[in-house]
Structure 1
Amino acid sequence: MKKQITLLAGILMAVLFSFSSCQEMMVGPEVDNSNENNFRQMWEKFDSHYGLFIVKNIDWNKVYASHMPMAKAAKTDAELFSVLSSAVHFLDDKHINIYTNSPALTDYNSGENGHIPAQEGFDFKVIRENYLIEYHEESEDFGYGKLTSEIGYIRIESFQGEFSFYEKNIEKAITSLASTKGIVFDIRDHKGGSDLVSKHIASRFASSKKLFMTSRKRNGPAHDQFEAAINWFIEPAGKSQYTKPVILLTTSTTISAGETFTFAMRENANVTHMGTTTAGAFSDVIPHQLPNGWLVTIGVGDYRGSDGKSYEGIGITPKIISENKKSDVLNGVDKTLELARENLE
């Protein structure tokens, strides 16, 4: 479902800017590239597609009324960028980005007041060098091994590859760790991907069928027009299930499909959620190119936990709170991992 937005935007920007260059050589109606029209088009695209106006209690018409005069008055790209950024800032949504393809203007992320900060409380290199007694790397984003002879470890950084890759390798991981007494499942740097993958992997730890999420997408011009909701369930899947204790680790950079995975894992009775609150950005996104070539990403869905609540802009809070200090990580220490290990010993 979700994707690494920065990578997606880079690919789309390259294609779209190339297409725009080709358009300049073709005869056709002149595009209104005024600052006013760029703002209008962005506002209209959100108005017709964004899925969280009601959840976030946003008066989008009020945003138009307050920002259109500023867009008309804008004289430079920097001033227009400021207007557009200010408008989407009200949505407080980490899935919303403005990509300008301009080093002078950089880019903008709504949910972090401009830019998502680098994670300071986690570094997988620390775990690889100081804690794992064995590790099998299936890809840069997927690996498994052992912290002790009895405590297993699985790390998945994204669900962005082919479904078959994750299906095959989670089978290898569970088979390899079947004799352990517990597993630490680390998604503290998870950047999203497919919800079908998150559902399947969580189901490998399930002992019964349970609802873990509902989702619906905008399908009409009114802010309350959606497709019928889809119910997402986990249930035992694969050749076998790992039903011994599991501790799931998250941080504020665990986002998108990493969060739907967290929804699913928390429904399993053998899973304990530890770490810090997740990012709070669940929805699918679509890209939209403005007349000036800038790209915006727009969340089109409304995703909720099994309790029927939306956690957009809020995130999922762990049962056990544990946050690493930057100084500890720089010294090769991961206290959250140590706590998880101790809870399984």
Structure 2
Amino acid sequence: MTNFYFTFFLLLIALSTNAQQHPVRLLKNTSWVQQGYGRYLKIEDSTYTYYNANSLSCKALAEGKLDGRFSVVSLDNNKMVLNPGGIVDYIFTRVDTLPPKCTHMDTTAASYEENFKVFWETFNDNYAFFRERNVNWKQVYQEYLPRAQKIDSPKEFSNMLLKIVKKIGDGHIRLEIPDSLKAKAVVAAPAIKRKKDDIIKAIQERYLVNTHAYNNGVISWGKVKGTRTGYILIKDMNGFAKKQDKGKDFRSPLVEFEEELNGVDQVMEKILADIGKSDAMVIDLRFNGGGLETVALRLLSYFVSGRKHVLSVAAKTPQGNTAKQACILQPANNAYQGKVQLLLSGNTASAAEIFALAALSYPEIKITGSRTAGIFSEILWKELPIGWEFSLSNEIYTDPAGKTYEGTGIPVSQDMNYSGNRLDFYNSFYSGDRFTDVAMDQLHQKKASE
């Protein structure tokens, strides 16, 4: 009998191991609904089709090889957790079949009223920040439904939706309408338009020595003149992968994401070899509008001293929110050990804000500049029956204590009062043709006096 139980135990181990090694095989011909995103997933053999669904329609969003788009985190009969290459896992519940609307498209044209209802319902089910944006969404329905019922042209309908989007005031909400419906830009009085790259170049020339750049300036670094302070400017949170030769074979999304992280590791090794012995380090995210949150956190890992829970993420669902997922940051093996100052602005957004949010868990990192944009969520893209795409924020990022900075942005200890308007922010570095960066001036003066 003992041998029987031992043999049975070994069989269970073998079955479990096989399930982990061949999860795609176990998923053949299965259907799933995703929690918090309004999407369905159909898996056939080793391929998948990912659907966007609403009350009227269900359309294929993406398709391809499953193991190139998602990694399987866990799997049982009725629940599956996949990771798309980011810090947030996607949770799916098994269903017997896809809804009929996913496999039999209704070709009947939806009215503007029906399109409005889909727009409103999608936000009602998935948008997470009505309270933070001070928007009464039920009141929006009551106000705009009668208008939608009277609309008889796409121009009127697009104008109405654009008013609603403006009312919410979330930089991650976008409405893609046909070019023919877009308002013509009003020609204003001529103004000097400063460019981001021109400002970055001016900072380097005026304040830095021994400057270097990587991948067309996605990250650049040097030493602050006359000091033992290093300076790193990160312009985007993507574009770190090594430049590939044209004509290279197609790479799956998971491979592309991994190449981004490999690029971060390679360039950070070079940066720390160049300026890693500096007494202090400035990390400038003032011009960074976002990118990949995985890149942001990998970069931050090179400037922290301990393993910490730095943030949590949940997704909005019609029933509430999904369970929070904790993000733990592990310092890089060769992390910088000196003082760190982080520069932010109102143009620091999205994944760059996730860098700043995680940095709050390390009080030794001093944060100056101005509050960030306050738009943290991954962009969730949806589509109206009329065919117009729109996006919204459905993910709730909080600090470890549960506080969200959506709409308010990450605070700073010393406020430089930067404008949140990009053009005004860029112009603030100039007085006529004379360039100056007050934050860098203060830094240089402080270090020179020490």
Structure 2: runs of 5+ lacking an equivalent: 1-58, 63-103, 185-192, 240-259, 419-424
CA deviation digits over 1:111-167, x for unaligned, max 9?
xxxxxxx88899213213322212211123112112225221111122124121112
1:214–1:231 contact (8 Å) kept in structure 2: yes
Question: What is the aligned counterpart of 1:274 among 356, 363, 368?
Answer: 368
User: What is the alpha-carbon distance in structure 2 between the residues aligned to residue 61 and residue 270 of structure 1?
Assistant: 44
Q: Paired residue for 1:261?
A: 355
Residue number in structure 2 paired with 1:335: 438
Distance in 1 between residues matched to 2:194 and 2:148, nearest whole Å: 34
Match of 1:203, as an amino acid?
A: S
Deviation track 1:229-259 (CA, whole Å, cap 9, x = no partner) reads 0122334223x22121221111101001111
Asked whether 1:133 is paired with 2:228, we answer no
Cα deviation for residue 76 of structure 1 reads 3.1
2: CA distance between counterparts of 1:341 and 1:215? 38
Indicate which of 63, 72, 89 corresponds to 2:140: 63
Give the distance between the partners of 2:223 and 2:275, measured in 1 at CA. Answer: 8
TM-score (norm 1): 0.80
- Tell me which residue corresponds to 2:311: 213
Task: Flag the 1:182–1:344 CA change in 2: closer, same or farther, 3 A.
Answer: farther
Alignment of 1:16-31 (within 5 A): 29-31=106-108
For residue 303 of structure 1, give the secondary structure of its aligned residue in structure 2. strand
CA-CA distance at 1:67 after TM superposition: 0.8
Query: 2:154·2:181 contact (CA, 8 Å) conserved in 1?
Result: no
- Distance verdict in 2 for CA 1:243–1:47, change over 3 Å: same
Match of 1:189 in 2: 287
Tell whether the 8 Å contact from 1:182 to 1:344 is kept in structure 2 after alignment. Answer: no
- State the Cα distance separating 1:57 from its structure 2 match: 5.8
Q: For each residue in 1:187-217, what CA deviation from the matched residue of structure 2 results, as whole angstroms up to 9, or x when unmatched?
A: 1111112222222221211112233211111
Tell me, what secondary structure is at the counterpart of 1:143? Answer: strand
Q: 2: CA distance between counterparts of 1:84 and 1:33?
A: 16
2:325 to 230, 237, 259: 230
Q: Alignment identity in percent?
A: 26
The answer to whether the 8 Å contact 1:244/1:270 transfers is no
Q: Which residue of 2 is the match for residue 4 of structure 1?
A: none
1:22-66 Cα shifts (integer Å, max 9, x gaps): xxxxx9743424322222221122122222245556432221111
Higher relative contact order (CA 8 A, sep 6+): 1
2:189 counterpart of 1:105: no
- How many residues align structurally? 307
| 2:236 pairs with one of 133, 143, 158 | 158
Gaps of 5+ in 1: 1-15, 20-26, 108-117
User: Which whole-Å CA distance do the structure 2 matches of 1:344 and 1:271 have between them?
Assistant: 17
Measure the CA separation in 2 of the matches of 1:243 and 1:31: 63
Cα distance in 1 between the residues matched to 2:231 and 2:181: 43
- 2:301 partner amino acid: S
Contact preservation (8 Å) 1:252, 1:277: yes
- CA shift for structure 1 position 321: 1.1
Give the whole-Å Cα distance in 2 for the aligned partners of 1:68 and 1:209: 51
SS of the residue 1:247 aligns to: strand
With 155-164 and 53-62 compared, the bigger mean Cα shift is at 53-62
Tell me the amino acid that sits aligned with residue 333 of structure 1.
Answer: T
TM-score between the two structures when normalised by the length of structure 2: 0.62
